[in-house]
Amino acid sequence: MAETQSNGHGYVGTRTIRPDGVDKVTGRARFGADFNLPGQLIGRVLRSPHPHARIVAIDTSKAEALPGVKAVITRDDFADQPSEFIPAGEMMMNYKDVVRNVMAREKALYEGHAVAAVAATSAAIAKRALKLIDVTYEVLPHVIDVVEAMRPDAPVLHDDLFTAGVEPKPDKPSNIAKRVEIVLGDIEAGFAKADVVVEREFKTAPVHQGYIEPHAALATVSEDGSAELWCCTQGHFIVRAHCARLLGLDIARIRVTASEIGGGFGGKTVVYLEPLALALSRKAKRPVKMVMSREEVFKASGPTSGATVRVKMGATRDGKFVAGFAELKYQAGAFQGSPVQPGVMCAYAPYDMENVKVIGYDVVSNRPKVAAYRAPGAPISEFAVESVVDEIAKKLGLDPIELRMMNAAREGTKAAYGPKFGPIGLEETLNSIKKTEHWNTPLRKWQGRGVASGFWFNIGGETCVSLTVNEDGTVSLMAGTPDIGGLRASLAMIAADELSVEYDKVRPIIGDTGSLGFNFLTGGSRSAFSGSMAVVEAAKQIKADCCARACKLWDLKPEQVAWERDRVRPIGDVADKAKPMSIADFAKVAGKTGGPIVGYGRLNAQGAGPSLGTHLVDLEVDPETGRVTILRYTVAQDAGRAIHPAYVEGQFQGGAVQGIGWALNEEYVYGADGKLQNAGFLDYRMPVASDVPMIDAILVEVANPKHPYGVRGVGETPIVPPLGAIANAMENATGIRFTELPMSPPKVLKALKEQGVTAK
């Protein structure tokens, strides 16, 4: 069979209406908490009031005796798991820790750590039952701050945790789970060549992903051990794997359906309620529904690391970066597994440098275990580096965009973390920013302008989709990665173009775990990238199948038939022999030409090209109160190829605003008692509509050669540059280099006062 590239209708690159849109504007779409089953019980979790305590005993007898209580579970309901590290997206995980995070075993390791759970016939009874569970705690000293947790005399969370990655192996346990390092070239030789060296220490606060939908799960387990689960997750196949492991069930026995998901940003890549709901249902033999409160979301899920970062960079007089050193200390929360590794790898990734050394420490403390958050680890290390880059520009009297341009990583640059880059778009984003009217608009007193770039790898991974040509020529598309921000639209556009059917005739859904082969989760900006590759693969099968059917119908040889442009055609000297057939034509004759027409795209997607971006921000500081107003914001980012430009812009805009929150106001505030003081949207201050301006989005398209349409992941990079861009703008406005996030008004006002920068 011969094949040529199809051009279809050209939906890719247009702004179609998303297929799931009507359901979402009418309230019909069903999110995690919107599922119910007849006879369901309500599950609630008892959580530790202490940041660090040994659990001496748990007496559930009174709760069990309360009428209406159908099941109570504790650590005794979960088998222990051996220590074993498993890749989980950009991070690693260990089931020994996962089982302890979903339900505390020996110790409660943070305020809010699950200690027991109940299922009862009503929420009110479940709540009363929690109060009847008697937990005997031996309260232990706690440690919250990452630097304090690293001290030799700090309270140790895990007495079997010995720092990995150091020689000789330590003989004493500590809170430093591991040390990682990357080295390129010779850092000392690099600094020796430097005319200017800038060294700074930075501190960032932990921030929560802040999805508006709290975690929710509905589970039902039958007497034969078959289980069904509905939950809001970024990866229902991953949930299935984790739950099978934690509950000792066969994977085939668990069917997980991903609900519509109300935001995740990395925070819904792990399990919290799901194994508890299953365990409760297994015990009660009735469906169990569990939904977190907002307070529980803050205290027991997410966030990403707070960190301390030291950066030292050297440059020559003319602006060439000759050496970059960084030391990153990232909070992991109660269990090891902070995103320090990607933080280390990304720190200097935007730049073409010969000498780089980055060291990272993964540190546990009495906080909730961190979860992935949009480009996990990268915003923190790149904030520090981008701040120092800006300072170097100032010291050398160079334009910050020119300085970045001079050092920008480009095709062929060897990254400090290993690979040689293919085509990447940093220079293009810098150029686009430089050309904006925004960059060239004058500012007033107390206003400042900042620029920063950012890098994120993106990933591919295991992906499986199906395409079914229905009897009427419409196409059903099933994907297995939850659609968190427009995936179904993108995949339907690709399918429509590949098969030359109308976009409206492709109906995409997210299939459950029983309907497709394994799909890795939606994360690492992989779902549109990998999913579209799988759709192309599935469409290719369908086109090949249709060609084969045409051979039979037309009595032609395989080489006499091809899919050209929009349909199967006889080619060459038989071109007039038969009437070309579209997908819809084959649908009509599917039965007599071999049965259903189905394509099944399955692959472990490789070649996810990094996406780089540059952000530009104007802000104004109120010198009397320290309040910062974001005046104007422009994002330029390389999308490779934007399948649906509006949703790509949406990623840029949303990431920028999350970054604004991170830079200015969001933080976890702990009291001396180790308890979180701002576990709600009132005092965990995410940006509201009136806090931000319009976010101008510039789509840069440097095609990714490893993808059939040139696509790159775009979702994560947008949160990387804002922290540095805003800090740089603050310096521009006030002359003060802010090194601690968030740059909240009390901190800003204090700095202004200390530096003698006043309004009068």
Partner 1 sequence: MAKHHVEATVNGDAVEFLCETEETLLDVLRDTLHLTGSKEGCASGDCGACSVTLDGRLVCSCLVLGCEVGGRRIETIEGLAEGEALHPLQKKFLEHAALQCGICTPGFLVASRALLERNSNPTDTEIRYWLAGNLCRCTGYDKIVSAVKDAAATLRKG
Partner 2 sequence: MRYEAPETVERATALLAESAGEARVLAGGTDLLVQMRADVVEPALIVDIKRIAETRAITEDRGGWRIGAAVTGAELKEHPRLQQVWPGVVEAANLIGSTQVQGRATLGGNLCNGSPAADSVPALIAAGAVATLAGPQGRRELPVEDVMLGPRRLALGKGEIVVSFRLPPRPPRSSDAYLRFIPRTEMDIAVVGVGVSLTVDASGTITDARVSLGAVAPRVLLVREAAAAIVGSRLDRPAQDRLEAAARAACAPIDDKRGTVEFRIQVAGVLARRAALIALDRARTS
Binding letters toward partner 2, positions 619-638, x by CB under 8 A: -----xxxx-----------
Q: What's the min distance (Å) between Cβ of 674 and partner 2? A: 14
Neighbour tally for 436: CB within 10 Å = 15
Per DSSP bridges, beta strands 85-88 and 91-94 are: antiparallel
Interface with partner 1: number of residues (CB under 8 A): 60
- Binding to partner 2 in span 266-305, by CB under 8 A: 293, 295
Closest CA to 473 of 437, 444, 501, 436: 501
Beta bridge partners of 477: 467, 508
Q: Is 84 helix (H, G, I), strand (E, B) or coil?
A: coil
Q: What's the min distance (Å) between Cβ of 664 and partner 2? A: 8
Tell me which of 33, 93, 254, 621 binds partner 1, using CB under 8 A.
33
Residue placing its CB nearer to partner 2 in the complex, 66 or 405: 66
Closest CA to 58 of 134, 139, 132: 134
Tell me which of 11, 12, 18, 426 binds partner 1, using CB under 8 A.
18
Residue placing its CB nearer to partner 1 in the complex, 672 or 682: 682
Q: What's the min distance (Å) between Cβ of 47 and partner 2? A: 13
Residue placing its CB nearer to partner 1 in the complex, 149 or 711: 711
Token couple for 76:
């005794």
| Residue 43: contacted member of partner 1, partner 2, none (CB under 5 to 8 Å, by partner type) | none
34 is a contact residue toward partner 2 (CB under 8 A): no
Residues 135 and 115: beta-carbon distance below 8 Å: yes
Alpha-carbon span 254 to 240, nearest angstrom: 6
Alpha-carbon span 90 to 105, nearest angstrom: 27
Tell me which of 9, 13, 14, 21 binds partner 1, using CB under 8 A.
21
Tell me which of 399, 566, 691, 740 binds partner 2, using CB under 8 A.
691
- Judged by phi (left if over 0) then psi (alpha if -120 to 50, else beta), residue 350 lies in alpha
- Binding to partner 1 in span 158-187, by CB under 8 A: none
Dihedral angle computed from the Cα positions of residues 145, 147, 149 and 150, in that order, rounded to the nearest 10 degrees: 170
655 is a contact residue toward partner 1 (CB under 8 A): yes
Residue placing its CB nearer to partner 2 in the complex, 350 or 626: 626
**Residue 428, Cβ density class (10 Å: 0-12 exposed, 13-18 middle, ≥19 buried):** buried
Alpha-carbon span 557 to 1, nearest angstrom: 8
* CA 453 to centroid of chain Cα atoms: 19
* CA 174 to centroid of chain Cα atoms: 29
DSSP annotation string for 170-207: PSS--SEEEEEEEEES-HHHHHHT-SEEEEEEEEE---
51 is a contact residue toward partner 1 (CB under 8 A): no
Helices and strands counted in the chain (H then E): 19, 28
- Binding to partner 1 in span 250-279, by CB under 8 A: 260-265
744 is a contact residue toward partner 2 (CB under 8 A): yes
Q: Which residues contact 153 (CB under 8 A, 6 or more apart)?
A: none
Tell me which of 406, 686, 749, 757 binds partner 1, using CB under 8 A.
686
Tell me which of 214, 302, 461, 742 binds partner 1, using CB under 8 A.
214
- Binding to partner 2 in span 648-667, by CB under 8 A: 664-665
Alpha-carbon span 75 to 95, nearest angstrom: 14
| Residue 486: contacted member of partner 2, partner 1, none (CB under 5 to 8 Å, by partner type) | partner 1
Tell me which of 694, 746, 756, 760 binds partner 1, using CB under 8 A.
694
Q: Is 273 helix (H, G, I), strand (E, B) or coil?
A: helix
22 is a contact residue toward partner 1 (CB under 8 A): yes
Q: What's the min distance (Å) between Cβ of 298 and partner 2? A: 13
Q: What's the min distance (Å) between Cβ of 614 and partner 2? A: 26
For residue 248, which phi and psi values (nearest 5 degrees)?
65, 35
- Binding to partner 1 in span 658-677, by CB under 8 A: 658
Q: What's the min distance (Å) between Cβ of 118 and partner 1? A: 19
- Binding to partner 2 in span 434-473, by CB under 8 A: none
DSSP annotation string for 611-633: EEEEEEEEEEE-TTT--EEEEEE
Q: What's the min distance (Å) between Cβ of 42 and partner 1? A: 10
**b (16+ CB within 10 A) / e for 569-592:** bbbeeeeeebebbbbbbbbeebee
432 is a contact residue toward partner 2 (CB under 8 A): no
| Residue 749: contacted member of partner 2, partner 1, none (CB under 5 to 8 Å, by partner type) | partner 2
443 is a contact residue toward partner 1 (CB under 8 A): no
Q: What's the min distance (Å) between Cβ of 211 and partner 1? A: 6
Task: Note the residues at the interface with partner 1 (CB under 8 A).
Answer: 15, 17-18, 20-22, 24-31, 33-34, 124, 209-214, 260-265, 291, 293-294, 484-486, 644, 646-647, 649-651, 653-658, 680-682, 686-692, 694-695, 697
* Residues found near partner 2 in the complex (CB under 8 A): 293, 295, 624-627, 664-665, 669, 677-678, 681-683, 685, 687-688, 690-691, 744-746, 749-750, 753
